[in-house]
């Protein structure tokens, strides 16, 4: 199976980045839902089902992870049960590397200090009100400290509220309030909550920020799944594989340099 055989685009805003007999890597635009939602707009799930049913003998695509509707970037789709299981285990044990690019509306604490280009965010998360997530602590309990050239943002264990789940985001400041992020855990809205609670909500994030704020205003959410690294797995992947997606043209721009 080749990219030409499956086509150039599933639905508007979703393209293939990699195609073989067991795995697809898809690249979706912001505003495309992975699963059907209340708007009735075309979803990736429905498009994959229609692709399978359009011709006898086609494999059943299996979506193995999700990204938010408003986030653009890479998704993995298995074409058989073995690959689905292999990738599911890899996600569960956190052996798949995930990198995002985020455009914040402000700088993270510590960015103004010399050498503080890297951040380690370990704020635990728990469900909040109206379907939102929140940090499992009070804002005033979040502490910031420099450690070996890395700016650490954390909540002391004694001040952590019950029900929190560990969440680790590692960030490198690229300048102009843009960050390259390594996501070590995959909690719901993890990046968006971490940045919002540190006073730097992502551009275009009306759920966790203030859409009326001029610094945050954007036509779309400033979050993009830029790269995925799949490890070598004896029963599923014969070699490590890295897939990347360039920033789309509609990605929000950063603040002018000071």
pLDDT for residue 57:
87
Q: What angle do CA 65, 73, 68 make, to 5 degrees?
A: 55
DSSP 8-state code for residue 27: E
pLDDT for residue 73:
97
Residue 240 has φ and ψ, to the nearest 5°, of -60, 145
List the alpha helices (DSSP H) in the chain: 3-6, 44-53, 81-92, 190-197
Residues 242, 33, 168, 148: what is their CA dihedral angle, to the nearest 10 degrees? 60
Residues annotated as catalytic are: 68
54-64: per-residue pLDDT in tens?
A: 888 889 999 99
Tell me which of 4-18, 79-93, 112-126 is least confident.
Answer: 4-18
138-164: per-residue pLDDT in tens?
A: 999 999 999 888 999 999 999 999 999
Tell me which of 22-31, 48-57, 157-166 is least confident.
Answer: 48-57
pLDDT band at 24; cut points 50, 70, 90: very high
6-17: per-residue pLDDT in tens?
A: 655 677 889 888
In this predicted structure, the answer to whether residue 238 has a pLDDT above a threshold of 90 is no
Q: How many whole angstroms separate alpha carbon 95 and alpha carbon 225?
A: 16
> Three-state SS for 49?
helix
In this predicted structure, the answer to whether residue 228 has a pLDDT above a threshold of 90 is yes
What per-residue string of b and e applies to 5-37 under the rule 16 or more CB within 10 Å gives b?
eeeeebbebbbbbbbeebbbbbbbbbbbbbeee
pTM across the whole model = 0.90
Of 96, 101, 58, the residue nearest 80 (C-alpha): 58
pLDDT for residue 55:
86
Highest mean predicted confidence (pLDDT) among 16-25, 85-94, 206-215, 217-226: 217-226
pLDDT for residue 68:
92
Determine how many CB atoms are found less than 10 A away from the CB of residue 48: 21
Summary mean pLDDT of the chain: 89
Q: Across residues 123-139, what is the average pLDDT?
A: 94
Determine how many CB atoms are found less than 10 A away from the CB of residue 135: 24
In this predicted structure, the answer to whether residue 127 has a pLDDT above a threshold of 50 is yes
**Which residue segments constitute the domains of the chain, with CATH numbers given?**
3-93 (3.30.2350.10), 102-223 (no CATH)
pLDDT for residue 258:
41
Ordered DSSP codes for 220-238: S-SEEEEEEEEPPBTTTBS
pLDDT for residue 172:
94
């Amino acid at each position: 199976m080749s990219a030409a055989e499956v086509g150039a685009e599933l639905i508007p805003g979703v393209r293939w980045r990699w195609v073989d007999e067991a795995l697809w890597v898809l690249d979706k635009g912001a505003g495309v839902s992975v699963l059907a939602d209340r708007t009735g707009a075309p979803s990736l799930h429905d498009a994959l089902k229609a692709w399978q049913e359009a011709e006898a003998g086609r494999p059943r695509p299996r979506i193995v992870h999700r990204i938010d509707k408003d986030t653009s970037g890479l998704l993995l789709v298995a074409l058989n049960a073995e690959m689905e299981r292999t990738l599911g285990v890899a996600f569960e044990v956190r052996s798949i590397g995930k990198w995002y690019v985020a455009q914040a509306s402000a700088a993270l604490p510590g960015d103004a200090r010399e050498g503080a280009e890297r951040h380690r965010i370990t704020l635990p998360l728990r469900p909040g009100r109206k379907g939102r997530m929140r940090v499992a602590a009070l804002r005033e309990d979040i502490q910031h400290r420099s450690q070996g050239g890395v700016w650490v943002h954390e909540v002391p264990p004694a001040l952590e509220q019950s029900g929190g789940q560990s969440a680790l985001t590692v960030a490198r400041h690229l300048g102009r309030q843009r960050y390259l992020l390594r996501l070590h855990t995959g909690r719901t809205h993890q990046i968006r909550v971490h940045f919002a609670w540190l006073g730097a909500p992502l551009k275009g994030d009306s759920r966790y920020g203030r859409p009326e704020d001029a610094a945050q205003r954007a036509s779309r959410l400033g979050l993009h799944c830029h790269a995925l690294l799949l490890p070598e797995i004896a029963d599923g992947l014969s070699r490590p594989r890295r897939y990347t997606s360039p920033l789309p043209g509609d990605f929000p721009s950063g603040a002018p340099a000071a």
